[in-house]
Amino acid sequence: MEDNHTIWIEKYRPSKLADIVGQDEIVERLSSYVKSGTLPHLLFTGSAGVGKTTAAVTLAHEFFKDSWQMNFRELNASDERGIDVVRNQIKQFARTNPLGEATFKILFLDEADALTTDAQAALRRTMESYAQTCRFILSCNYSSKIIDPIQSRCAIYRFKPLSPDAVKEEARRIAGREGLSITPEALNAIVYIAQGDMRKAINALQGAAILSSMIDEKMVYAITSTARPDEIEDLLKFSLEGDFDGAESVLAALLHERGIAPNELINQCYRAIIKRDMNRGLKVELIDHLGETDFRLSEGANSDIQMEALIARFVLSSQKCR
């Protein structure tokens, strides 16, 4: 019987390529490597929680079967970013022969965009020197931070954010396995929170399941400290109507009573404004105000003052555009 305390993102990590949801085209191409028995160096790029690590691990599973742990190694480049990790750990693994019936090994380097330029140059030489005994799979959020000589040596796979249907499908599957009852509104809330990130979706589901086996929309937003879309709409409505006091009241409730992070509110306001049907000039100004506030918060400015100033700018901009 499985340990009930297992983190669900590990408990439900797919063990086969065919079980990966939302990346059908990539799965099909990776499966063709398994059928042919060959593998080039690979570069996986995309936002967090879209299946890059899962694809690398399941690929190793399918290539090496029972000997996959002996012929597969995972390193996180953000832990050690310098050239020493390439010269020591990576080179040492790459130069040794594969075990069992495997014809090569796989080294998976997660967050490769964290490597320094010198470390990437050394990695390029290692990839060239030991290509016969080791294949490299590099994973990153931003492929532009990977030097061109490495990109040119890899087959590049761009993982897209997961679709709402894919997130709902996986959430329903996990809920069924765990004996949970989840409302359609709660599924929509999970999709809203996840933004295509399956890791966020599964964590939200597990957090809500800790409270009750009957999961509704309110629980999902509460456990993730996220404002409901209607609360964000209220904040924008009061601001754009010129009602600073009303907007300030909603903002104070979200920040201090609900404990929602200012950066999360900025992100949610941005998502709501982008979808909103409104004057184009006003929309541009509001997004500009959001960007300025986000930058000031990143520089360490007082969050309460900056968030109050943000809705003040919203009010002024709306009055100017009337």
> From its phi and psi, is residue 179 left (phi > 0), alpha (psi between -120 and 50) or beta?
left
Per-residue pLDDT of 220-251, as tens digits, reads 998 998 999 999 999 999 999 999 999 999 99
**pTM, entire model:** 0.85
Position with higher pLDDT, 4 vs 281:
281
Rounded Cα distance between 20 and 31, Å, is 12
**In this structure, what is the dihedral angle of CA atoms 299, 304, 310, 311, given to the nearest 10 degrees?**
170
Amino acid identity, residue 230?
Answer: D
**Fold matches, 8-158 and 164-223:** no
Record: fold of 164-223: Helicase, Ruva Protein; domain 3 (1.10.8)
Please spell the DSSP secondary structure of 157-193, one letter per residue: EEPPPPPHHHHHHHHHHHHHHHT-EE-HHHHHHHHHH
What burial letters (b/e) apply to 221-231, b meaning 16+ CB within 10 Å?
Answer: bebbebbbbeb
The predicted model gives 313-319 an average pLDDT of 92
Q: What is the mean pLDDT of the chain?
A: 90
Tell me if residue 140 falls in helix, strand or coil. strand
Q: What's the count of helices (H) and strands (E) in the chain, helices before strands?
A: 17, 7
**Could you tell me which CATH number the domain at 229-320 has?**
1.20.272.10
pLDDT in tens, 136-159: 999 999 999 999 999 999 999 999
CATH of domain 8-158: 3.40.50.300
Domain-wise residue ranges, the chain? 8-158, 164-223, 229-320
Task: Write the DSSP assignment of 23-75 as a string of letters.
Answer: -HHHHHHHHHHHHHT----EEEE-STTSSHHHHHHHHHHHHHGGGHHHHEEEE
State pLDDT tens for residues 200-220: 999 999 999 998 999 999 999
